[in-house]
Amino acid sequence: MATMITDDCIACGACEGECPNDAISFADEIFAIDADLCSECVGLYETQQCADACPIECCVPDPDRTEREAELFERASGIHASRGVTLELGESTSHFRAA
């Protein structure tokens, strides 16, 4: 599932700079995640960085957008290839594989 921000967001901004895909932005009173840029941090971190940063735990899985590791990794790889970075899958770069 892509990650989403609920209406509980207090617009503190703590998550915005933590997203490796630049998927988070301010949108009409609260922050929002562009689902087409979110990879659930697959390819980069073993946990979702926005959820880790959020003080009120309002970065949560979007139940309407279930995605597999392979497609999330492909998305992240495409984003970061344009930045000259090659990603790898492993225990430390995918919550699907984290111990």
Please state the closest distance from residue 85 (CB atom) to ligand SF4, in A. 14
Closest to ligand SF4 by CB, 10 or 81? 10
Residue 35 DSSP SS3 = coil
Pick 49 or 84: Cβ nearer ligand SF4: 49
Compute the least distance from the CB of residue 70 to ligand SF4, in Å.
Answer: 16
Residues in the site for ligand SF4, rule: CB under 6 A? 3, 5, 9-15, 18-19, 21, 23-24, 31, 33, 38-41, 48-50, 53-54, 56, 58-59
| Per-position DSSP letters for 46-86, written without gaps between them | SS-HHHHH-TT--EEE-TT----HHHHHHHHHHHHHTTT--
Cα 81 to Cα 55: distance, rounded to the nearest angstrom: 31
Q: Comparing C-alpha atoms, which of 67, 66, 73 is closest to residue 93?
A: 73
Least separation in angstroms between residue 99's CB and ligand SF4 is 19
